[in-house]
Chains A and B, each alone.
Chain A
Amino acid sequence: MSVIALNDGYQGEVKDREENFHGNRLLFIGWEDHLMFCAPHCIPVSPTMTFATLANEVIPGIYSSHPDWDKVAIGEIEWFRSNERFAPEFGRTLGENGLQHKAVIRFRTPGLTGINGSCS
């Protein structure tokens, strides 16, 4: 389907093009079963950041205030790119791991189901 507009060929400006983010791109991150964080997060990242940096530094910076975080073993995390399971290569960059601008990473920490098992 396409837009119903007064003039043919109407096309709005793409507001969130990658080049508008000053060398960064957006990455969305959500921790499954931990909805105390009300929604997934949005962060700007450098495409050259390694997955290891993301997993070992950036993600703990966002989520370590959760009481489950101390029990998380980074090596056991199940990663999803959008809805599909994927096995990231930690030494490679986000771009090389297929995480383009506005990609979604969801991660699951098996056995951890939030505050009193409430998925919070």
Chain B
Amino acid sequence: MVYLRTGNLLQDEENISNGIKELIGTSPAALQTFLQNQQLKIYDTVSTQKLNSFNKLYGDLGIFTDDANSVIMHQIRNKESTELNTKLLKEANKDSDNLVNTTELANRKYEMNEWSVNNKKDTLFIFSMLFIMISGLILVTGLYKLNVISTSFWMLLSVPMILIFVLTVIYRSQYTNVYRNKRYWNRKRFEGKSGTIPMPNCANVTQGLLDAANAASGLVPLSS
């Protein structure tokens, strides 16, 4: 801000005129000295004032340009920060996608393992059943060889055991190959062969709903 020190100049002017009035009647030398002193004083005041005004403005200019400098640095910082955050966000999105894929993959692997384990357990059931059947056959064959039981009784005991085992193997094999869901072990496939749950056919209600929908869309007037 520039301030014109007009008050001081007027004061100086008044002092000068008072000095001149006092000295005008005495001697020209004293008058000259007085005028020189006053001129020097005015000269110093004016030059200092001009310099001070400029110094103040120049200092302000320095402050404002420094301020602008800091604003630019702030903008650069903001720009870099935004770029960095955007990059991080993109990376996070990518990580998120990867994670979803990994989760889905792990889930599918879990399902496959579960199906495989259950299939092995089914085989284990057949194996254990075979073992039981063979053990039974060994027992009845041993009794038969020791002549404890007759041939017909041996046949009567052995054939059902073998038959039960064979039928069980066939049934389970068929069930797994044809009816069992290929993804979830404990689900059965129907494939539309078992029919659907019948829905009640309410003609009046259906018509009413259709009329209401048509009226709402303004296509057909509501039927009476």
Do A and B belong to a common assembly? no
